[in-house]
Amino acid sequence: MPEKASVTAQDAATTCACQKVRMAARAVTRAYDEALRPVGLRSTQFTVLVAASVADGIPLNRLATMLGLERTTLTRSLTGIEKEGLIKVQSVDGRTRNVVLTQRGADRLDRALPLWDQAQQKLHGRLGEQGWSTLHDSLTKLTEAA
C-alpha cells in the first residue's frame, strides 16, 4: 500500500472545501440580507416565508429538512417572525405542526420579492449565464456528495 502524503496546515488553509463554501455562504447571505433590509427581513426569514407561501402551510419537519436545519434550530429561528405576526405555527394533530403564512406575512413577502429579485439578478449578472448554471449544478452535487 502506498504511503499517504502528509497534509500541511497550508494545504488545509488553501484547499478546504468547507471553509470556501462557508465564506461564499456568508458573502451571499450578506448581499441578500442587505437587499431585504428595507422590508425588515433577513434572507433566512425570507426563505421561511417563501416556503410557507408556496406550500400553503408546511410541516415543521419538512421545512427543516428543506432548509437543511435541525428541527430545534428552525423552531428557534421562527420565534421572531411568529412574534411579528408573519407566520403562525399551527397544530395539525398531536404530532404535526404546520408553518402557515399570515396575511401580514404575505404582504411582507410581496414587498420583499422585488428586492430579492434585484439581489438575485445582480449575482446572476456578475456570474454570467455559464457561471450561474455551473454554480447551481455544483452546489447541488456538493450537497448530495456531503
Residue 108 is placed in which grid cell? Answer: 411582507
Express each pLDDT in 25-75 by its tens digit. 999 999 999 999 999 999 999 999 999 999 888 999 999 998 888 989 898
Q: Does a structural domain hold residue 91? A: yes
Of the chain, the percentage scoring pLDDT greater than 70 comes to 97
Q: Which amino acid makes up residue 55?
A: A
Q: Does a structural domain hold residue 46? A: yes
Of the chain, the percentage scoring pLDDT greater than 90 comes to 76
Confidence of residue 98 (pLDDT cuts 50, 70, 90): very high
pTM: 0.86
Mean pLDDT score of the chain: 92
CATH code (residue 82): 1.10.10.10
Q: Convert 78-101 to b/e letters by CB count within 10 Å (16 or more is b).
A: beebbeeebbbeeeeeeeebbbbb
Residue 105 above 90 pLDDT? yes
Q: Does a structural domain hold residue 50? A: yes
Domain range spanning residue 85? 41-123
Count of structural domains, the chain:
1
Residue 2 above 80 pLDDT? no
Q: Does a structural domain hold residue 19? A: no
Residues in contact with 106: Cβ distance below 8 Å, sequence separation at least 6, in sequence order: 53
Cα separation values, 7 from 10, 51, 70, Å: 8, 42, 32
